[in-house]
């Protein structure tokens, strides 16, 4: 599904145990997703080629470590290896955590520089939404690390947290750095929608309500329904 001037892409996160299950889940949503995120850290056997072979949508590969809320608990070189393979095989995006070791940043950046892949540098805070100054600082660090796209996701406890995270779009625009920024948790649900109309690079959602990969994540059908309402379309 092509994007319009009124909104940004919607990325559907796929977190399955096998490549076959992941491909089936991605296929089941048809053209509802603009981008598919493959959570490699959820796979029992990590592989990238089946997804690139069978899925037509632009793919984003993420291998989230346990220290950033993911499932990968192994050696760092082994964690980065499939991301680099995905880059070499022509994927559209890879996600690398801001807190990754310098060696990981160097390896991934080196691979990206020789490809058309875009690097998403991410940072998550599952406890709170820090001060605006700290958030801007994280954004600057991502730019310094060579990110093509920044991703900052925090936990919201109230409306002030949500406003703070959405305000980051103005700072990102000044830096000319595409940014995905929204909040987890019930108060943060609105930020997942609002970011699509406030300059956010994209928003993330789940295949369905039962397969959310983060607190407060909407299903792709729910997000598309809200999008249609905001665009004045019949639903």
| Inter-residue contact 189 to 219 (CB < 8 Å) | no
Asked if residue 55 belongs to a domain, the reply is yes
Q: What pLDDT digit, counting tens, does each position of 30-66 carry?
A: 999 999 999 999 999 999 999 999 999 999 999 999 9
Query: What's the pLDDT tens digit per position in 5-36?
Result: 456 899 999 999 999 999 999 999 999 999 99
Question: How many distinct structural domains can be found in the chain?
Answer: 1
Whether residue 34 lies inside any domain: the answer is yes
Does residue 1 sit within a domain? no
C-alpha–C-alpha distance, residues 80 and 96, integer Å: 9
Within a domain: residue 89?
Answer: yes
| Residue pair 189/165 in contact by the 8 Å Cβ criterion | no
Mean pLDDT for the stretch of residues 181-200 = 94
Q: Is the pLDDT of residue 2 over 80?
A: no
Domain contains 149: yes
pLDDT in the model for residue 209: 84
Active site members: 124, 151
Domain extent, residue 136, equals 10-230
217 domain-assigned? yes
Average pLDDT for the chain:
93
Instruction: Please check whether residue 5 lies inside any domain of the structure.
Output: no
CATH number of the domain that residue 59 is part of: 3.20.20.70
Instruction: Tell whether pTM > 0.85.
Output: yes
Residue at 142 is within a domain: yes
């Amino acid at each position: 599904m092509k994007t319009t001037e009124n909104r940004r892409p919607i990325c559907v996160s796929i977190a399955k145990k096998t490549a076959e299950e992941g491909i089936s889940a991605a296929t089941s949503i048809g053209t509802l997703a603009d981008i598919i995120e493959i959570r490699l850290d959820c796979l029992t056997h990590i592989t990238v080629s089946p997804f690139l072979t069978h899925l037509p949508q632009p793919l984003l590969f993420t291998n989230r470590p346990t220290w950033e809320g993911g499932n990968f608990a192994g050696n760092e070189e082994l964690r980065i290896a499939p991301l680099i393979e995905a880059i070499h095989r022509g994927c559209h995006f890879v996600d690398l955590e801001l807190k990754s070791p310098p060696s990981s940043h160097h390896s991934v950046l080196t691979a990206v520089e020789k490809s058309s892949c875009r690097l998403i540098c991410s940072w998550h805070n599952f406890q709170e939404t820090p001060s605006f100054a700290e958030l801007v600082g994280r954004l600057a660090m991502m730019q310094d690390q060579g990110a093509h796209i920044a991703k900052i996701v925090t936990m919201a406890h109230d409306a002030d947290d949500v406003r703070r995270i959405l305000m980051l779009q103005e700072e990102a625009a000044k830096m000319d750095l595409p940014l995905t920024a929204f909040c987890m948790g019930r108060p943060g649900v609105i930020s997942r929608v609002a970011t699509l109309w406030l300059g956010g690079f994209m928003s993330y959602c789940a295949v369905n309500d039962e397969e959310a990969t983060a607190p407060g994540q909407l299903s792709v059908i729910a997000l598309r329904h809200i999008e249609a309402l905001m665009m004045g379309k019949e639903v």
